[in-house]
Structure 1
Amino acid sequence: MTPIERLSSLVVGAVESVSPGEVRVLLELDAPHATALNTGTPAPFPRINSYVLIPNEAGATVAYISWIGIERSPYPKRSGLKDFGLIDLPFPLRKMSVSPVGTLTRVRDKVTGGMRHELSRGVMAFPSVGDQVLMPTAEQVEAIVGARDSDRRVRIGASPLASNAAIMVDPDKLFGRHLAVLGNTGSGKSCTVAGLIRWSLDAASRAIADGGRGDTPANARFIVLDPNGEYARAFADLGDKVRVFRVPPIAAGERALEVPAWLWSGHEWTAVAQAQPGAQRPLLMQGLRELKSGQTQGVPREAVVRRYLVSYATRVSAMLNSGTQAFAGSPRSRFECARLLETIQNDCNWLAQGVEEPTTSELTAAAARAETVVNSRRSGAYFNDFSVGDLESVRDALLTLAETLPDLGDAAPISEDAPLFFDVNLLAEHLERTASEQGANVAGFVSTLGLRIRGMLADHRLGAVVGHQPPVRFEDWLSDYVGDSGGANGPMAIVDLSLVPSEMVHIMVAVLARLVFESLQRYRRVNAEGKALPTVLVLEEAHTFVRRGGDDAGPAATPGQLCRETFERIAREGRKFGLGLVLSSQRPSELSPTVLAQCNTFLLHRIVNDADQNLVGRLVPDNVAGLLRELPSLPSRQAVLLGWATPIPVLVEVDELPDAQRPQSSDPDFWGVWTLREPRAVDWAAIVADWTSS
């Protein structure tokens, strides 16, 4: 067959109308009706979401079929027939609508020197009316749904609408700009996530072997935050290459989950202790700084006095800087000024009781100065205008005395966010002792804070997790959870959160994610070349931890809000430091828009909910939105791949994992248990023993 004959055998119709989002095609009468043989191999045609080509000067516009139908014509529209007026019968005309999605060109292969097809995003030239429409050959279909040669690194499945052509992806694109795996429960999300990890590691190992580096382990880092405890089984065959962390008691080969409370930041302590902004939060931050700097016996009394004096001097200065209306305006303004001076007087007399000379006399003198100013302006139940000189004399007296006292910063120079060890069991007692030094009112506010902290540490399920003794070294913790140099201790860490109490799981996830992110930040800064350390953080049930905001606003950050803020920051900035994010969720409409907007690649499994369909429908251009109409009816393992990792959206049938390598999330076998084919013996005593021992 000559090239011209070969090309003519692929023609299936002609362009009838053109618009930016849709091209209408009139099919030839002899075009295939169900199965096409003219491409060399049997191929189903026409089929919804399969591909056709429209040649042009730039190469060929690639379009996918979005509609197929029949229109009736009063006369046959076959060329060469002259009997239009003699026949009065309805003649069926097959038509279809196609949506242009890309351009297929021929380029020279840099390795072999031969010519090959390559797909690029966008339409370089729209067709004209009358242009021929062709069926793609098997080679062209593979170029359409496959990846470029440089991206052919990891196979994830095959395209059922493209002669089962292999779907290959580049991990740099798949993980480098964040990936979201979305779909209803039972649609195959967990198996897809497990497969992506396993196939990526297998491909890396093959590349290492092909490069002549023997059996050197892959320097990969996958950290899976698993709230349902389903991934440990999927990677059990990898043995010591996988580090599994669980809440005690643990089985052989597993490790105890440790998220030490001394690694928590001040913001995380505020959320877990529900510290209110007034007195509790500042005192909590002060207590953390003091314990991390070794101040276990409380702050010196003189340092506390200095803090009060500087605080009052600042308030007086603010009043002076605000203008005369603050202290020489309305009766209410003058009254507020007098109340401030009276408070200074009373507190200076109270503070003088706990210090030694000459500080006692100087505090008494400062109190007397404030009293003199107030009394000089008193007029019955009201006050006359306070002069600038009066207020400046009080302020100067306070600052002069403060300069003679030790600075509180000298007592606690360490930040509350510094990852330094301290005994968390001392925190509640230390806060109460510090509060008692500041008066009964402050102690009353802090008592509930101490109760919350003691309650958390008293929980047997959390004691070993947040307050493990002896303390783990921070560098050892990072080596275990993020990975050792060169991936020596394996490429995976699975954090099983299934037994973490629900009120604490958000804090655990937030702390783990933040520490991973900040460790990679500091790696790039310390690294002499400023290069990143590629790491993938996988979050299952992402809608639980990265919920859309708006329902947790309040004076203090909640654990859920803190968790969302952590992942929003990772989504925005993680790529710069080599941290890729993989989100798996069955409710995309409940995810934070900030996080979802930063995901550049999506694997969409079956989605039935209207709100979720509307959300994912906005992820693709209008001309390929028809591809998502299949989402409610997709079978398990099939998904739509779209975004940065693929030139055009494509339907992929994800490769099947063996049963032993699947996450423990399969559907329950009710009938098998009911009919005794699947035995299910129950030992409630053993379950209660395990439950109560935890």
Structure 2
Amino acid sequence: MMNDKIVGHVVGVHGFCVKVELASEIKSPVRAHLSNLQGASLAISINAYLSFSIGAGQYAIGIVTDLDARDSFEPSNEELSLELTKPRRVATIQLLGTLKPVFRSESYRFDPGISILPTLDTPAEIVEKYLLDALFDDAPKRNKPEDHPDGEPFDSGLRIGIAIAPGNQIVKGSFNDLFSRPLAIVGNTGSGKSNTVSHLIQQSQKDRITNRPKVFILDINGEYASAFGKPEPGDGRKPNYLYVNGKELGLPVWLMNTHEACIWLSVAEQTQQPALINLWSVAKGGKFDKGNIKNNVQEAILRINHILGVIDSNSFNKALDIKQIWSAFNGYLKGIGLNDAIKKLIATINNTIVAADEKKCSKSYGADEPELKTNLQQLRDGLSNLTTAEPEITQQSANKPIYFSLDYLQNSTELYKAASIEEGDQSFRQFLRGLLLRIGNRLQDQRWYCFFNYDNLGIKSFRDWLEKLGIGSETEGNDVCVIDCSMIDYEILPYVCGIIGRLLLELREHAPSMKRFHEPWVAVLEEAHNYVCPVRQNESRGLSVSREAFERIAKEGRKFGLSLIVASQRPGDISPTVLSQCANFIMHRLQNPDDIEHFRRIVPSQSRRLLDQITILSAGEAIVLGSSFHVPARVQVDRPEKAPHSQSSAPHLSWKPDSQTRFDLDEALSYWKIEEVKETESSKEV
């Protein structure tokens, strides 16, 4: 009598792909047996798992990817084949790894490597329950601290859901790995992403309530408050307002660094950028002294290096390109006292560039090019000596989050002073008037309200702002911080998300090196395709702010105790740099071929056949894979205990004549804070 666990024998081994001829008496995908009280098992359906004994108590584990009822003899001539009269049934198994017994224990551990492959005629067996537990329930153990005692637990399995095959098998992922390295949760709208995000975070907080923030959710659609018991804003959400845990939040303009400020105000590099950088520094407590001079000289040196690179290149318009860069160079040195040698070099170089321009030479400098290159190198060395001198007064960095009043930005006197404009320099003043006008327009634009409301909220320092997020304090229910961005304009959103992300990273970067891992944080990027998208032509300037911030977190955040959960319905519209750093993926239903193909290129080869099923996943189902899991699996993700406000509508009920769920226009307009001017009798007469 055949062993009730055996379903067939190996008839082919092709690398890590095994062919199994199924036993003739097996007529159903369900195999019943009494071993270990396991009962009926899903043995030979797609996604089922089979084991192969390879000696020394070890088992090679594989997943069923194909089932075929035709066996052919294929000679070297591919056009010839012989169909058998009684075709055999063959299953294709993708090997995933090895289950090895633990020394002096009855348990097993999973090893993703396979050093011994099954041989021909090796029995293919149903994976028994204790082996399945080692595969799915006993999640990988990651990130053991160096000073942690051996034998003491340092990681645990976080429950994800139930495996589709085998049924009723709990699937867990490494707690440490899921929240210490970037995780991508993707899927079409309505596929269950928001529920999965809520479930994972709710599970992570069980028995770990500290009343100190660990998770920061950038809630783009205003749907997560209900999932984490956060109140709605008392007087309803208002346009252009930012909220945290139901309370109004500001994002003070002085939290911007100079790079973000220059993008925000669309400054001209040659004329306005040096002045704005100096203004930003002075506004934050610095002085226009040698500290600022040092910054400008360093920027000027970068322009010289750029010019030298153009000279050595094959640029078609070499002289024209150098003329534009040289103009920017002069802008950075305006108002700085230079010695006679440097002034002479600048005058010589300027004459060479002007002479070429007058001769309409746009391609090269001809015979003057070697001398130009030498003079530029000498100028660079001379300017470098200026930067090595110790500043007379230590300035506050313009990139530090230090408070200043909005009035300072509108003070033309301070701006001219920061630019070191001489009294009669009317042409340069004209450029700065354009910058002042742009600043004024920004301050009047209500879409930027959350950047200017900090005085009303009593935010007078960076610490005050951090305490609004709960950082540095202990408040009941503070473990998850929901930052509601649902009322922020689409153009403003990338600035808001990017600046918050950068500040969280920089705060942890400035912690002592031995304490950066204490109480690690996770930033949840909901609908990330809106503000972490790839570089595109003619994109909104703010997108570069958020993209740079989150690409940096994805690449470097792990070292500082800051990770990401990236949630999106369009993974193809997310920065490749961010996705490439994701160690784990939870993939719900996807339909777009470009999105699916994108994942085929980045997931391990043994998981690619599983992706063939991603278009037919039902709501809540997902394919999970990555370093948090021993093997990829198709899983029904558990529903969260409290669901977010992301349910789909029910037109069948709502469209009935007697339905009470009607759209309320007055309530919507009131919620939107739109004041309607009613027509009076006098206005009708007019």
Q: TM-score, normalised by structure 2?
A: 0.75
Q: Is the 8 A contact 2:470 2:478 kept in 1?
A: no
Compared CA separation, residues 497 and 29, structure 1 to 2 (3 A): same
Write the letter of the residue equivalent to 1:156.
I
Mind listing any 5+ residue stretches in structure 2 that lack a counterpart?
Answer: 74-82, 142-154, 312-318, 352-357, 360-367, 677-686
| Residues 56-95 of structure 1 mapped to structure 2, 5 A cutoff | 56-57=54-55, 59-71=58-70, 90-95=85-90
Query: Which of these residues, 10, 19, 24, is aligned with residue 29 of structure 1?
Result: 24
Secondary structure of 1:157's counterpart equals strand
Distance (whole Å) between structure 1 residues aligned to residue 25 and residue 437 of structure 2? 82
Identity rate, percent: 26
Query: Which of these residues, 457, 460, 463, is aligned with residue 472 of structure 1?
Result: 460
Write the letter of the residue equivalent to 1:669.
A
Write the letter of the residue equivalent to 1:522.
H
Distance (whole Å) between structure 2 residues aligned to residue 548 and residue 419 of structure 1? 28
Distance (whole Å) between structure 2 residues aligned to residue 63 and residue 95 of structure 1? 15
Moved more, 124-133 or 432-441: 432-441
Per-residue deviation, residues 7-53 of structure 1 (Å, max 9, x unmatched): 92211111001011311111111135232112531223321011001
Distance (whole Å) between structure 2 residues aligned to residue 455 and residue 408 of structure 1? 39
Write the letter of the residue equivalent to 1:679.
T
Distance (whole Å) between structure 2 residues aligned to residue 497 and residue 509 of structure 1? 9
Distance (whole Å) between structure 2 residues aligned to residue 641 and residue 614 of structure 1? 17
Partner of 2:682: none
2:248 corresponds to 1:256: yes
Secondary structure of 1:543's counterpart equals helix
Query: Which of these residues, 463, 484, 497, is aligned with residue 509 of structure 1?
Result: 497
Q: How far apart are 1:599 and its partner, in Å?
A: 0.6
2:159 corresponds to 1:159: no
Q: How far apart are 1:156 and its partner, in Å?
A: 1.8
Query: Which of these residues, 555, 558, 569, is aligned with residue 572 of structure 1?
Result: 555
Q: How far apart are 1:551 and its partner, in Å?
A: 2.5
Q: How far apart are 1:133 and its partner, in Å?
A: 0.8
Partner of 2:272: 280
Q: How far apart are 1:89 and its partner, in Å?
A: 10
Distance (whole Å) between structure 2 residues aligned to residue 250 and residue 220 of structure 1? 18
Secondary structure of 1:42's counterpart equals strand
Distance (whole Å) between structure 1 residues aligned to residue 162 and residue 12 of structure 2? 33
Partner of 1:265: 257
Partner of 2:438: 452
Q: Is the 8 A contact 2:238 2:673 kept in 1?
A: no
2:526 corresponds to 1:540: yes
Q: Is the 8 A contact 1:247 1:496 kept in 2?
A: no
Distance (whole Å) between structure 1 residues aligned to residue 615 and residue 565 of structure 2? 23
Q: Is the 8 A contact 1:524 1:533 kept in 2?
A: no
Q: How far apart are 1:123 and its partner, in Å?
A: 1.5
Query: Which of these residues, 561, 575, 590, is aligned with residue 607 of structure 1?
Result: 590
Compared CA separation, residues 118 and 190, structure 1 to 2 (3 A): same
Q: How far apart are 1:73 and its partner, in Å?
A: 9.1
Distance (whole Å) between structure 2 residues aligned to residue 686 and residue 649 of structure 1? 45
2:663 corresponds to 1:691: no
Distance (whole Å) between structure 2 residues aligned to residue 245 and residue 225 of structure 1? 16
Secondary structure of 1:456's counterpart equals helix
2:671 corresponds to 1:673: no
Q: How far apart are 1:543 and its partner, in Å?
A: 1.4
Q: How far apart are 1:626 and its partner, in Å?
A: 1.0
2:558 corresponds to 1:582: no
Secondary structure of 2:88's counterpart equals strand
Write the letter of the residue equivalent to 1:48.
I
Q: TM-score, normalised by structure 1?
A: 0.74
Q: Is the 8 A contact 1:204 1:218 kept in 2?
A: no
Distance (whole Å) between structure 2 residues aligned to residue 179 and residue 575 of structure 1? 12
Per-residue deviation, residues 513-547 of structure 1 (Å, max 9, x unmatched): 0110111111234x6x5644300110011112111
Partner of 1:654: 637
Partner of 2:208: 204
* Larger CA Rg, structure 1 vs 2: 1
Q: Is the 8 A contact 2:509 2:560 kept in 1?
A: yes
Query: Which of these residues, 605, 617, 623, is aligned with residue 622 of structure 1?
Result: 605
Partner of 2:684: none
Q: How far apart are 1:117 and its partner, in Å?
A: 2.5
Per-residue deviation, residues 404-442 of structure 1 (Å, max 9, x unmatched): xxx997688222112111112321333654469442212
Partner of 1:125: 116
Secondary structure of 2:194's counterpart equals helix
Per-residue deviation, residues 193-220 of structure 1 (Å, max 9, x unmatched): 0111011112535xxxxxxxxxxx3655
| Residues 371-520 of structure 1 mapped to structure 2, 5 A cutoff | 413-430=395-412, 433-434=416-417, 437-438=421-422, 439-469=425-455, 470-481=458-469, 483-485=471-473, 490-520=478-508
Secondary structure of 1:104's counterpart equals strand
Q: How far apart are 1:450 and its partner, in Å?
A: 2.0
Compared CA separation, residues 450 and 143, structure 1 to 2 (3 A): same
Secondary structure of 2:674's counterpart equals helix
Distance (whole Å) between structure 2 residues aligned to residue 410 and residue 488 of structure 1? 48
Distance (whole Å) between structure 1 residues aligned to residue 9 and residue 505 of structure 2? 55
Distance (whole Å) between structure 2 residues aligned to residue 489 and residue 33 of structure 1? 51
2:175 corresponds to 1:193: no
Q: Is the 8 A contact 1:222 1:493 kept in 2?
A: yes
Distance (whole Å) between structure 1 residues aligned to residue 404 and residue 108 of structure 2? 62
RMSD: 4.3
Compared CA separation, residues 114 and 693, structure 1 to 2 (3 A): farther
Per-residue deviation, residues 41-84 of structure 1 (Å, max 9, x unmatched): 1223321011001110251110100111212799xxxxxxxxxx
Distance (whole Å) between structure 2 residues aligned to residue 563 and residue 251 of structure 1? 19
How many correspondences in the alignment? 580
Q: How far apart are 1:263 and its partner, in Å?
A: 1.3
Moved more, 453-462 or 168-177: 453-462
Q: How far apart are 1:252 and its partner, in Å?
A: 12
Distance (whole Å) between structure 1 residues aligned to residue 496 and residue 244 of structure 2? 23
Write the letter of the residue equivalent to 1:23.
V
Q: Is the 8 A contact 1:245 1:255 kept in 2?
A: no
Per-residue deviation, residues 460-485 of structure 1 (Å, max 9, x unmatched): 35335434214333213223326335
Compared CA separation, residues 410 and 427, structure 1 to 2 (3 A): farther
Distance (whole Å) between structure 2 residues aligned to residue 685 and residue 178 of structure 1? 40
Partner of 1:77: none
Q: Is the 8 A contact 1:72 1:90 kept in 2?
A: no
Secondary structure of 1:548's counterpart equals coil
Q: Is the 8 A contact 1:104 1:118 kept in 2?
A: yes
Distance (whole Å) between structure 2 residues aligned to residue 650 and residue 689 of structure 1? 44
Partner of 2:147: none
Compared CA separation, residues 232 and 693, structure 1 to 2 (3 A): farther
Partner of 2:80: none
Q: Is the 8 A contact 1:290 1:411 kept in 2?
A: no
Compared CA separation, residues 652 and 45, structure 1 to 2 (3 A): same
Secondary structure of 2:492's counterpart equals helix
2:623 corresponds to 1:640: yes
Per-residue deviation, residues 351-392 of structure 1 (Å, max 9, x unmatched): 9xxxxxxx9xx99xx99xx9xxx9xxxxxx99xx9xx9xxx9
Compared CA separation, residues 411 and 444, structure 1 to 2 (3 A): farther
Compared CA separation, residues 565 and 657, structure 1 to 2 (3 A): same
Q: Is the 8 A contact 1:221 1:487 kept in 2?
A: no
Mind listing any 5+ residue stretches in structure 1 that lack a counterpart?
Answer: 75-87, 206-216, 326-332, 345-349, 352-358, 375-380
Per-residue deviation, residues 250-300 of structure 1 (Å, max 9, x unmatched): 9997211211111110111011111121111111101111111276xxx69
Q: Is the 8 A contact 1:247 1:257 kept in 2?
A: no
